[in-house]
Structure 1
Amino acid sequence: MERYRIRRLRGVLLALTTAGGLLLTGCGGGDGDHSSADNSTYPSGRPAPGYANGGGSTGGTGGTGEQKNGDDADSDSESREFAPAPDYLSTFALDVDTASYGYARRTLSEGRLPDPSTVRPEEFVNSFRQDYDRPDGNGFSVTVDGARTDREDWSLVRVGLATRPTTDLGERPPAALTFVIDISGSMAEPGRLDLAKSSLGVMTNRLRDDDSVALVTFSDEAETVLPMTRLGGNRDEVHDAIATLEPTDSTNLGAGVETGYETAVEGMREGATNRVVLVSDALANTGDTDADTILERIASERREHGITLFGVGVGSDYGDALMERLADKGDGHTAYVSTEDDAREVFCEDLPRNIDLTARDAKAQIAFDPATVSDFRLIGYDNRQVADEDFRDDSVDGGETGPGHTVTALYAVHTRPGTEGHLATASVRWLDPDSRAPHEESGRVETGALQDSVWSASPRFQVTATAAYFADALRLGDDRWSALPAAPSLHDLEEHAEDLARETEDGEVSQLAETIGRARGLMAERY
């Protein structure tokens, strides 16, 4: 069991959650025997690190518990054991980001393993198509299913939230989009500014005549290149402004964000979706580089004017953490582009169709039944946790979603031996994007509905599990200690992905198999 030893995880775990809090997802693609778990041990057969109360629940504190680091954390994690969770609730704000997976693919394609701190499992999972039913109107459908793992009494439970299908672009409200483009020297690298310019040009042709576009650039200073301009009759003017974009000096991200929001406010249109789109490698190196100051600017504009932020990351060196924080604070989401196909999908497909918001401040809460569940933990969503008591507090920030979105939360669940019946109920609460009226929808799952094996469940469930296990492995490297029970080796995981690619005929799943193969080779060299 040497390969499953718990080693010091400096730089890998971003934070420990509350005493009853959600466990930050770890990674490990272990490929040997696993000792069986009981009510007091983690899937690896060891006590769970950072847990005084087990359960994976937020415990009504929203993940604000004590954080330990250094040697104290190491020794403490070795000695703790699970105790019953205080409330069996898990609450988080919805998140549709996918940048973490895109950046990992780019890094691996260049022959490097991604920094574990940039690996967010929920963004790996949410990068793939799902098989959930969709609602007819605004709001969400709720799907809850699960499958047992090879580890005794441990299962994976999938909570799926889906919005209505993407409508015809002619049916959505008009858009007022302020593009804030990084033209610093680092953007001269192929696959950065050149990619953004070509994609913006195509997108300009695809937007409607009643949509509006503004362009702000920033390097050492920020400048409004094009004020908010209605596209009808002015497309040539927009194309000319895009053509002038050239890389220059350093990266004053703070100035770019501030000028971008000022331009967006000046060009606000009633009845339109007003959004700032930040395109950058997020490597702030001059001017205001303090993240909190930049974030506060975004938060105040969001509260006062309802302008959301969409962050598009580029570059082999990329400020992932800052871009994610900016998007979270701006009630938006992030994506990462490294190829022409990526850029066209983000700028020409995702952005235009998701201009139409279907839900604001959306939060999910999953209630596990203590009669059948002894322990659970949410995989990912580390910085999206919400206090349990704030689930129905509509003044507490949640996540924004548009048509065609799916949000998946994967849980590792330990059931009490021999018990049957109700396992969990998942609820989602959101505000109508126009009236701000609150709505809720729920779904539930019984122990009898669990599939016998993860690898005999539906193909899309298996894709979800494969993406999560892969993120898990990247996050912990050779430590082989997993937040997910019965983690396959990367070799087995690659084979699962190849089989699923053939079964689903999905090019993105085929790409996942190739990416796992690259990671397997790099890990073999390193470890």
Structure 2
Amino acid sequence: MKRIPGLSKLAFITLGVLAVLIGALTLFGNNLRKLFGASAESLAGRSEPSAYGGVATGQLQRKSLKSFGANKDDEGDSYAAPPPASAPRPAAKQTQATRLAEPVTTGNTHVAERPNPFTLTSEDRFSTFAVDVDTASYALFRRYITGGSLPPPESVRVEEWVNYFTYRYPKPEEGDFRVDLEGAPSPFTRGRHLVRVGVQGRTLAKSQRKPTHLVFLVDTSGSMSEPDKLPLAQKAMKLMVDGLNESDTVALVTYAGSVRDVLPPTPASDRSTLFDAIDALTAGGGTAMGSGLELAYKHAVKKASSRTVSRVVVLTDGDTNLGKNLTAESMLESIQGYVKEGVTLSTIGLGMGNYRDDLMEKLANKGNGNCFYIDTEREARRVFQERLAGTLEVIAQDVKVQVEFDPAAVRGYRLLGYENRAIADKDFRNDKVDAGEIGAGHTVTALYEVELTGEGQSVATVRVRAKKPGGAEAAEQRFSLERGQLRGSLREASSDLRFATAVAGTADILRGAPQAGDWSLATAESLAEDAVDGMSDRAEFLGLLRLAREHRTPALARE
């Protein structure tokens, strides 16, 4: 650096130092800004995020309204929870429609729903959601555990675990369903209670079912050749046909590298023709799921009416390139018009590997249907024979539940699960907003963790709003939960509440919900042990829970 005449030695040195600093800032500016930016955030008091992000576990947070019908501007403050590092981070606020429109990642790397935050009733006393009777998440958990590993946290949906099981709720004396309410002290969090909202749908005898038209859409691509895929799908279809009435009809469409009409609508009574067509299916080729879905819906809509159940049943391992509809967005959008015509959908997942659990669930939600995962012939029998009426026939449509907590009695609350079924409170009575469906004989269970104030007698008011299938206007029912209905201890509560609590607690722990950070699988196991009541599905859960504890202990030791 050339010295300027008349400049002091000290000034000359200072100019030199400044030149070096300017060069450093130019060369390393981005890294320095990141460094000092991070420090500024720390000084501003922004806490380090937990595994789910956001503020420290246990703090009360404002509820996020991720709604089927909400506009973005109407949503509350989102729970700022980033997904696992392996998954792309979504936008801070999304409506349900936005999430359904997003391209879906392959495998089980899709973004997990953020667990519902604990909400102050002084800020928002309403909790509104669409019912959900899907069970795929639980069956997938069973497949992972029996295979020697824990399920990916993003595949755990609490409501699908809880609703997998049968509960002994009172049957409706009139109308399509009845609501049963119960509460007791929480076994997980001292000072809090668990409140159960149980909805029981009316049952239908086989002779009471409407005529049914089924369109089986079967994935016959090369990935379906494994024993737990196409062969299991063939057994499942036969079980379903065996449970149909003589007036029912079945059509068969397949998709692989191309789409094929295998069988036109055929009477269910013609078992030999149907079984021969099913047995003749073989696997090979690509996976044009979008094209197959479009053709299946075109067949189904021809017989859709208020007097006939018309349902598409997709059986696939979910490994798809989507075919003609090259994005999940376009495939999901193509369903909408058929749904308006009354066609419903069941998605049946099979096998592992690149199984698209996320896509199967979104298809079922968008298609006014249900999502199952079949891992054994026993599960196929359960879905397609024991619960066939509920699988096929919808008795109540666009069913919404709204729980209004009394701020005088309840300081705060948290709904366990139903994150992707949330509805904006203002849309509860908006009958144009899509919601969930209840099949014949189905039960729907939701659990809330609540903190009582010790005052007030009215704990909550539960409102259920639903339409008749094909109807345009909904009817509403109202039920009250009074303090006197809360049990003094969990031991005094029904075994149904204790068992549902064990299942929900296990799911919340395994998905890593922040509020379940101090919860214990040992406590869940103890609850389940005392609530099996001789039911085989509950006994199986207890065994799976013990395996989960074994798998989880080494993982915890490494942390």
* TM-score, normalising length: structure 2: 0.79
Q: Which of residues 40, 44, 51 in structure 2 aligns to 1:9?
A: 51
- Cα deviation 1:187-244 (Å, max 9, x = unaligned): 1122211111122223323311110101111112221111222234x32221121011
Structure-2 residue corresponding to 1:492: 523
Q: What is the rounded CA distance, in whole Å, between the counterparts of 2:451 and 2:517 in structure 1?
A: 9
Q: What is the rounded CA distance, in whole Å, between the counterparts of 1:454 and 1:222 in structure 2?
A: 55
CA shift for structure 1 position 435:
4.7
CA shift for structure 1 position 121:
0.3
Structure-1 residue corresponding to 2:275: 239
Is the Cα contact below 8 Å between 1:225 and 1:241 reproduced in 2? yes
Q: What is the rounded CA distance, in whole Å, between the counterparts of 1:427 and 1:86 in structure 2?
A: 20
Q: What is the rounded CA distance, in whole Å, between the counterparts of 2:401 and 2:120 in structure 1?
A: 25
Q: Which of residues 273, 296, 305 in structure 2 aligns to 1:260?
A: 296
Structure-2 residue corresponding to 1:423: 459
Is the Cα contact below 8 Å between 2:214 and 2:250 reproduced in 1? yes
- Cα deviation 1:368-411 (Å, max 9, x = unaligned): 00111111111111111111111111111111112111111111
Is the Cα contact below 8 Å between 1:312 and 1:337 reproduced in 2? yes
Q: 1:448 to 1:270 in 2, by over 3 A?
A: closer
- By relative contact order (CA 8 Å, sep 6+), the higher-ranking structure is 1
Q: 1:138 to 1:284 in 2, by over 3 A?
A: farther
Q: 1:452 to 1:198 in 2, by over 3 A?
A: same
| 2:485 alignment partner AA | A
Matched, 1:390 2:427: yes
Q: What is the rounded CA distance, in whole Å, between the counterparts of 1:516 and 1:63 in structure 2?
A: 37
Q: 1:286 to 1:206 in 2, by over 3 A?
A: closer
Structure-2 residue corresponding to 1:523: 552
Structure-2 residue corresponding to 1:35: none
Q: 1:289 to 1:121 in 2, by over 3 A?
A: farther
| 2:531 alignment partner AA | L
Matched, 1:401 2:443: no
CA shift for structure 1 position 169:
0.5
Structure-2 residue corresponding to 1:27: none
Structure-2 residue corresponding to 1:118: 155
Q: 1:82 to 1:313 in 2, by over 3 A?
A: closer
Structure-2 residue corresponding to 1:37: none
Q: What is the rounded CA distance, in whole Å, between the counterparts of 1:180 and 1:206 in structure 2?
A: 18
Q: 1:193 to 1:82 in 2, by over 3 A?
A: closer
Matched, 1:47 2:59: yes
Q: Quick check: 311-320 or 120-129, which moved more?
A: 311-320
CA shift for structure 1 position 311:
1.0
Q: What is the rounded CA distance, in whole Å, between the counterparts of 2:178 and 2:168 in structure 1?
A: 12
Q: Which runs of 5+ in 1 are unaligned?
A: 17-40
Structure-2 residue corresponding to 1:128: 165
Aligned 1:504-523 pairs, distance under 5 A = 504-523=533-552
Structure-2 residue corresponding to 1:322: 359
Q: Quick check: 186-195 or 432-441, which moved more?
A: 432-441
- What's the secondary structure of 2:273's corresponding residue? helix
- Cα deviation 1:42-75 (Å, max 9, x = unaligned): 9x6x324xx2x369999x878565464559x9xx
- What's the secondary structure of 1:199's corresponding residue? helix
Q: What is the rounded CA distance, in whole Å, between the counterparts of 1:138 and 1:327 in structure 2?
A: 26
Q: What is the rounded CA distance, in whole Å, between the counterparts of 2:146 and 2:297 in structure 1?
A: 35
Q: What is the rounded CA distance, in whole Å, between the counterparts of 2:467 and 2:167 in structure 1?
A: 24
- What's the secondary structure of 1:236's corresponding residue? helix
Matched, 1:472 2:472: no
| 2:494 alignment partner AA | S
Q: 1:216 to 1:54 in 2, by over 3 A?
A: closer
Structure-2 residue corresponding to 1:350: 387
Structure-1 residue corresponding to 2:197: 159
Q: What is the rounded CA distance, in whole Å, between the counterparts of 1:432 and 1:106 in structure 2?
A: 36
| 2:430 alignment partner AA | D
| 1:186 alignment partner AA | S
Q: What is the rounded CA distance, in whole Å, between the counterparts of 2:119 and 2:256 in structure 1?
A: 51
Structure-1 residue corresponding to 2:308: 272
Is the Cα contact below 8 Å between 2:158 and 2:507 reproduced in 1? yes
C-alpha RMSD of the superposition? 2.9
Q: 1:205 to 1:144 in 2, by over 3 A?
A: closer
Q: 1:475 to 1:259 in 2, by over 3 A?
A: same
| 2:359 alignment partner AA | L
CA shift for structure 1 position 9:
2.8
Q: 1:221 to 1:137 in 2, by over 3 A?
A: farther
Q: Which of residues 304, 320, 333 in structure 1 aligns to 2:370?
A: 333
Q: What is the rounded CA distance, in whole Å, between the counterparts of 2:327 and 2:78 in structure 1?
A: 25
Is the Cα contact below 8 Å between 1:47 and 1:82 reproduced in 2? no
* TM-score, normalising length: structure 1: 0.83
- What's the secondary structure of 1:424's corresponding residue? strand
- What's the secondary structure of 1:358's corresponding residue? strand
Matched, 1:483 2:515: yes
Q: Quick check: 182-191 or 108-117, which moved more?
A: 182-191
Q: What is the rounded CA distance, in whole Å, between the counterparts of 1:461 and 1:235 in structure 2?
A: 42
| 2:543 alignment partner AA | E
Structure-1 residue corresponding to 2:494: 458
CA shift for structure 1 position 270:
6.4
Matched, 1:442 2:454: no
Q: What is the rounded CA distance, in whole Å, between the counterparts of 1:357 and 1:70 in structure 2?
A: 36
Q: What is the rounded CA distance, in whole Å, between the counterparts of 1:146 and 1:473 in structure 2?
A: 21
Structure-2 residue corresponding to 1:139: 176
Is the Cα contact below 8 Å between 2:65 and 2:423 reproduced in 1? no
Identity of aligned residues (%): 36
Matched, 1:86 2:123: yes
Q: Which runs of 5+ in 2 are unaligned?
A: 1-46, 84-88, 93-113
- Cα deviation 1:268-296 (Å, max 9, x = unaligned): 46621011111112121352342111111
Q: 1:149 to 1:267 in 2, by over 3 A?
A: closer
Is the Cα contact below 8 Å between 1:454 and 1:465 reproduced in 2? no
CA shift for structure 1 position 438:
2.2
